[in-house]
Every structure is written in C-alpha cells, then in structure tokens.
Structure 1
Amino acid sequence: MNRKDFIKISSIFAASAFMPFSEALASQASLRVGLIGAHGMGWANLNAILKNANVRCTALCDVDENVLEKRSAELAERGIKVKTFVSHQDMLAEDIVDVVIIATPDHWHCLQLIDAVKSGKHVYLEKPIGNSVQECDLMVKAVENGSSIVQVGQWQRSQQHFRDAIDFVHSGRLGKIRTVKAWSYVDWKKTIDKKPDAPVPAGVHYDLWLGPAPRRPFNPNRFHFEFRWFWDYAGGLMTDWGVHMLDYALLGMKVSDPVSVIASGGKYADPNGASETPDTMNVVYAFDDFSIQWEHAIGIGLGPYGRNHGVAFIGDNGTLILNRDGWEVIPEKEKMESVALQKPKDHGLDAHMKNFVQAITKKDHNLLNAPIQVGAHIAAFSQMGNIAYRTGEKLYWDRTKRKFTDRKANNYLLAKYENGYRLPKI
C-alpha cells in the first residue's frame, strides 16, 4: 500500500470512528484499536497493524500528555481522529476499542493485560510480557480463562527466514549440536551518566507511570526508553533482547527448561554509571547433553561472527548463524556444504500483525504465531539468567515445581507490588 492509498483508507476509517460498533462493522467490517504506550515501540506496532485494511485506530493512552498530543496530531494529519486517555482503565471502560496494543514499561504489562482481557479486548502485548516469573504465570492463566486473542511481540516468529533456518537445524544436517550461542551487542547504546532527581515534567502523570513500582523521586534516567536499565521496571538487555534470540535457541533445540543456569557480568563499561542492570553479561543454561550460552554488551557492536546480534547452532558438521539480516551455514572443514546468506524477503513486524488480525478475524487463537504461552516461557527463561546474576550462584531449576532449589533465588521469581497495587486474582 502506498502513502496515498493509506491516507485514503485511513480517512474512511476516521469518518466512522465513533459510529456504534454494529454500524461500523456493517459498513467497514473494521477492528477498533487502542494503543497504550505511544512513545516508542507502541507507535511502530500501531503503524504496522494499521496496514491491515480492516483496522482503524480510535484511541490513544499514555501517562505523558506530551506524547499524546504529538501522536494524536500525527494521526490527525493522516485523517485519523482518536480519543485520548491518561488512564488505561478509563479507555477500557468506554466501548470504543476491540483491540488493545500494550507497549508500556515491563512492570505495567501484567496489570494492563489482565484488565484488557477482563474487559473482553483482544491484545497485542510487547515483550517481555512481565517483569517476574510470577506475573508471567498469572498472565497465562488469565488469557486461558478468557476468550481474548493475545499475541506477544516476538515478531520474528512470523518472519519466513527465521522459520527456514529452524527447519534447516531440525533437518539434522549440522550433525550433533553441542553448543548454541545467542547474543546482543548494542554499540548504538551508550551508558548513562548519573543525573540528579528533578521536578516531574509538565504533562507527565508520574504516579501512574510508577504504578506498582517502588515510589521514587522523578529522575530522567528512569523515564521513557531508559527504564530498561533499572530492576524496578525491567531486566536490561537480558530480557529486552534475550527474549528474541533465546526464543530461537529453544525452538531450534526443541527444549524448554534447563537443568541449571549460571551467570557472570557487571557494569564493566561504566561502573559509576546510573544504570543498575549489567552492561556486560554471560549466562550458561545447561541441558542434558548441550548448553545454550547468552552474552551481551552495551557500547560494543562487534559480536560473535562479526554480528551485533544473533543465534548460532554449532554442530559437528557445521554452524548455522541466524539473525534479522538472514541466515547462513559455515561448514566444519569439509563435512557439509556451505549455505550462502539467505536474506529476509518479508517484514517481520508487518507479518506478525497480519497474523494477529487473521487470528482475531477467524476467532482462532491456534492461528497465532506467538501466543501468550510462548511469550511467558521465554520471558521466564530470560529472567532465570538475571536471577543467576543477582544471586551470584549456580542455580538448579525444578521444572515440575517451577522453582529453583535455592530458596533465596525463588524470592526473585515473585512480583513485588507497592503503592496499594496488588496482583489480580484469577
């Protein structure tokens, strides 16, 4: 769809934005979308879902009124009129959305997802789905008890070259795989210097931004994108990028739970910086006869095999390297044929949103490429790496009980809500 056609269709949708839903369905057969968290990835998600002809945006929600003003104006320029909200609960209370995109900081995901599901909305949820294993388990239960279609933002699951690479791994041509490496080297991101606490910016509803997180004075280092580097709200690169690459490590090896996990790392790039999560980290997940190794670094871009992110399946016959730029096979001496770089031929996020809309339209959650169970498992798996790092211990996982054998480590599995917030009861 070119820009002219997009604006034309968007204008048609905008004209019926506030019709009664039955009338809107009859005239346009459209899905009404509300976005919660419009600053970063949420905006990309919204634009991707709007490429589907039967979708229109009717609402925006953000605790920063400056973001709301900017995004609603950008939509208005495209002929799309929306109603804006500061509270997601206020948005859900009105009958103006059928689908919700949640792209807020991780510590809000659990509450917002469960509120949306209880309201009967379908949900596209950004990864990682929660900031604790306890939240992830509760979210799965809430979705399974309801009728909502919920897709998690593991969009690589909808991209063809990722699927082709895993098919090759499963073919057995690499021979026995003893080691899988996954990594993220982020050279475009620098460490953040300490900044003093500051007054809350005009238009920012800071209490709503904090939500269940510990009450702290406003600090610009903890706001918008930078929230990722603080334990109160997220899990650093381990959960931000780990959920993408480790997801494919598990898919390739057809496994789920490790026997043990051990981690090392720290704030090696800037020991005195403001962030709490490690800028350099290595994690080893042990399975019965192979291991999965994770590594990340901030401020460095030259990762394994000269790639800044990826997953590598290292077999006796050769190594398959996969990332967003494609996949290839490097043979082990002359044990197999090489495979030249297979570049992507589609757009992962667009394909993922198309899959989501199709599942909603056909009312079949089995069509989803990344259902809530997938998002919950890889989020918990990535959290294990952070917990091993924070305890400084080699941890053993009891798959049946979904706990570590170490009592201290199990404390990190739990959600710790403050400011009067409580985990929902399902």
Structure 2
Amino acid sequence: MVATERSVRFTYYTLTLGNTLAASLIWGINTIFLLDAGLSNLEAFAANAFFTAGMVLFEVPTGIVADMWGRRVSFLMGTVTLAVTTGLYVLLWRVEAAFWLWAVVSLLLGLGFTFFSGATEAWLVDALEATGFDGQLESVFARGQAISGAGMLAGSVGGGYLAQLVSLGAPFVLRAAILAVMFVVALALMRDIGFTPRRDARPVDEIRQIAASSIEYGLRVPAVRYLMLAAPFTGGVSIYVFYALQPHLLDLYGDSQAYGVAGLAAAIVAGAQIVGGLVTPRIRGLFARRTSALLAVDALSALVVLLIGLIASFWAVLVLIALWGLLFAASMPIRQAYLNGMIPSQQRATILSFDSLMASSGGIVVQPALGRVADVWGYPASYLIAGGLQALALPFIARSRAERAPADLAAA
C-alpha cells in the first residue's frame, strides 16, 4: 500500500487512541491501587518516581533501538514490555509485595514507555514530510491530543468503575490485553517512512553520537536548552498533580471506596484534553509567538494548582481540575510544534527522547518529595508547593522566548 499523508495521520491517530485507552484504564485508580497494596503515600509516589527514573535511564538505549532498528520496532517492543510489566503489577498487588519489588517493576514499566517516547512523534513528523504534508504541525498534534483525550475519557471512566465492580486489579488485566491488540495493529499499519534505520551502527558508538547530538542540537541551542530546562518543573509537577488527585478527591468526597469518583478525576482531565486539543489553534492565534502562548498557559496552570490546594470544596476542585487539564492539553501541541521546528530530522528522535528524559528527571525528585509532604501535612499542602514548583518553569520559557528562534514566529 502506497503511504500518503492521510494514511500516516490515520495510523498515528489509531496508535494514539489505542495506547491512551490502554494506559488510562489505570490512571484513575493507580495511586489507590498502590495504597491498597499496603504502600504509604511516600512509598506509592516513590514507586512512581522509580517509573520516571526508568524513563530517564532507558531513554538513550531505547533511542538507539529507534535509530538502529526503526521507530516501528521500537513501538512494537514498547507494547510487549508494557503488557508484561502491567501483568507483574497485578501479581505484586495480589501478594502485597515488598516495596523493593514495586521499585524494580516500576523501573521496567518506565522502560516500556521509553520505547514510545520520541520514536512515535519522530515517526509521524518524518513520515508527514516524506508524503508531502504542507500543513501546520499544531493541527496534527492538536487532533492527536483530542483523540488521546477521547481514549483517556473512555479508559479512565471504564477503569474506575471496573475497579469498583470487579477489583482494583481488573483494569490492569484489561490494559495488558489491549496492549497485545495494539501490537498487532502496529505490526499491520506502521511502516518507517522518510527515515532509514542505521542497522550497521554499533551501540557504543551510537551512545556517543546520541550524547553528542543531544548537546549539539539540544543543550547548545539556547532556545532549545531553556525549553528543556523548564521541562523538569512542568513534567515533575504534572505527574504528581494528576496521580494525587485520586486520593485527594476521595478525601473531599468523604468515601474512600468510591473508586468511580477517583476515575472521575481522570475523566475530567480527559474531557478537558479533548477540548484543549480542539481549541489549541484558537489559543495559538491569540499570540504572535509560541513562547508567549506557553508563558500565559503555564502561568495560569500554576495558579490553578495553587487553588486546588487552597479550596476544600469537592465540586469546586472538579472545576479546577477541568481547567488544569484544558490548560495542559492546550500547551502541549504548541510546545511540540515549537521544539520540532528547531531540530533537524536526523536527530529528531534523539532530541525528543532527551527532552522526555528532562521532563521525567523532575518526577524522580518531585513525586516522593510531595508524597512525603502529603503524608505529613496532607494533600492540600502538597498542591500549594506543587504550584510554586511549576511557576519555576516560567523564567526558562522566557529565556527561550528571548532567543527569537524562527520556529517561535511560525504562522498559527
């Protein structure tokens, strides 16, 4: 079958929908699942920190897989790894395993996601260029964001009520099954287009080249460097904010067994993600520069996180969650288009993986630290600190804006 830019977009949207559906089945109850297994808040968020540590440790090795064997192979390996580690999570929950076992499996869970990060996005951008796509990347990323939101909405609501009706382990089992289906779908639809894998390369040489490329096309480019330095604050805070919503909402609701309510938090974020993806072009059109849009959206997001910590009303917090999700969803396509516009095609997977590594590195420190704050002073206090940490990203985005990169001025 001859690839067209339309078929490329269809494949990307299909893979995005399936993967998000599988992943989001546990997003609404993951923290409750860990607490139910006997872990404290500190241990639960430390397990999440090991997950993000896995993403940091394995970003470069899996980037080599994408470069040497292709983005398609990387995606397929990701589905297999995630399916297996998800099954191991259920086993640990059943036996109420020791924390160190959770740490090891969480690390391997991070490995699974690194096979996707960078490689899938790089596959899309290169394939679109190779098939003559002449539109704006924001439009594709925004549509993908909306489709991802639809998958997250279905998965988070379904996962929450499946946990309530069957058991907390049931959404994890279903997630592994869907990942197996996605392996077959990717095998049939995904082909490396506009990129030729370097299968004769040597891993050690590749590591050196990746390190050199990350510095040459990433850290040595001021506009890219400052954007990446903002990532640990936005990435580390966002993952804590999302997962802490589950027990925090149950506290506000007054029923620790209402897992459907916990799933509601993820569902609201999913709905906001759909809307955010659809309104991204309008938000982008309000600003001459992409970085101006990022500054405004990220500042508002930090303020909303602070308000979640200050307000004790269940219904008011639901509204704030929707607003936070909308802001987060609206910022991502703009950031993706800005970053992709500043890096060359051959180094795209490498730089995108390094950017993901930077975002994950923030979660290693932020999650257990804020989890400890929640243990000692409660979830509201942890949200107040989280809002302050997210605001620390703003000076770095402002420095990136000051570089006046051509990608910052691209037409909306």
> Into which bin does the TM-score normalised by the smaller protein fall?
under 0.3
TM-score (norm 1): 0.26
Quick check: which one's strand share is greater?
1
